[in-house]
Amino acid sequence: MAIDAAVQTTTSVVRNWRIRFILASVVWINAWAGDPPADLVRRVALRETETAQAQANYTYRQSLTIDEFDKTNVIVGSYWEQRDIIFSPKQERTEQMVARPFDNLHRIKLTDEDFRDLRDVQPFLLTQDQMFSYEARFKGEESMDGVDCYVLHIQPRQILQGQRLFEGMLWVDQKDFSIVRSEGQAVPQIRTTTTENLFPHFTTLREKVDGNVRFPVTTYGDDTLYFRNGPQRIRMIIRYSQYKKFGAESKITFDK
């Protein structure tokens, strides 16, 4: 997200997420019950690859809401859109806007990187082709929503020009190595001598669809982005809904 040129204000890092990460890390490190599988990251990447392959056969709706706040924490602007992730008549996967986006943001403006993150980072998948772009550290074990999890911290090994990657924590189901929850942010933050393009911390939750694989259901973030000209609080909510497996008997209709 970039500051609106007409306003000169807006965006980066957590108020309490980093504190939570640091404190939680201390607890996990002191509470290790034992060593994880030696090939934990490889198992996670294999499961994530299977999840990506399964998700490629589903249509779903993606709803985005972003609110910006003034110094008294009153909402002063919002952005809203809905997209259907669908299959074309030629069975090509594509996106279709459900309605014209609503945009009355005054202090920030959404950038191409924000929309790339919406597609690739907030619903992050640590697939086999992504695995070698990251280094991972085991942080311990924790029960998350009743699921016994391994906890990993991952960060990019390096970031090439134009890349958008994820840095943060992953909660991994100890039984099937699927990701239950992720917390972190898209990187890098982009700062030049003339522009700033900053990105909030977020949490993405997954649930099982059709009783098998876990797909994203909600992403949320409430963060203050620290621009040179002052801080800007934003809130982001993404909902992924109406998952429907595409098959020979499925019929997708397109609005004229």
Whether 79 maps to a domain, the answer reads: yes
Whether 227 maps to a domain, the answer reads: yes
The string of pLDDT tens digits covering residues 19-28 is 444 444 444 4
Place of tokens 């907030």: 122
pLDDT score of 250 more than 80: no
Whether 210 maps to a domain, the answer reads: yes
Torsion sign, CA atoms 217, 186, 25, 34: positive
Whether 14 maps to a domain, the answer reads: yes
Place of tokens 């992924």: 240
Contact 151, 174 (CB under 8 A): no
Query: How many residues in total does the chain contain?
Result: 256
Whether 146 maps to a domain, the answer reads: yes
Q: Tokens for 234?
A: 């934003």
Closest CA to 176 of 37, 47, 42: 47
Contact 185, 171 (CB under 8 A): no
The string of pLDDT tens digits covering residues 183-197 is 999 999 999 999 999
Whether 250 maps to a domain, the answer reads: no
pTM over 0.75: yes
Whether 238 maps to a domain, the answer reads: yes
* 212 — pLDDT class (breaks 50, 70, 90): confident
Whether 23 maps to a domain, the answer reads: yes
Residue range of the domain that includes 104: 2-242
How many structural domains compose the chain?
A: 1
- Other CB atoms within a 10 A radius of the CB of residue 192 amount to 7
- Under DSSP, the state recorded for 35 is P
The string of pLDDT tens digits covering residues 61-70 is 999 999 999 9
Contact 28, 138 (CB under 8 A): no
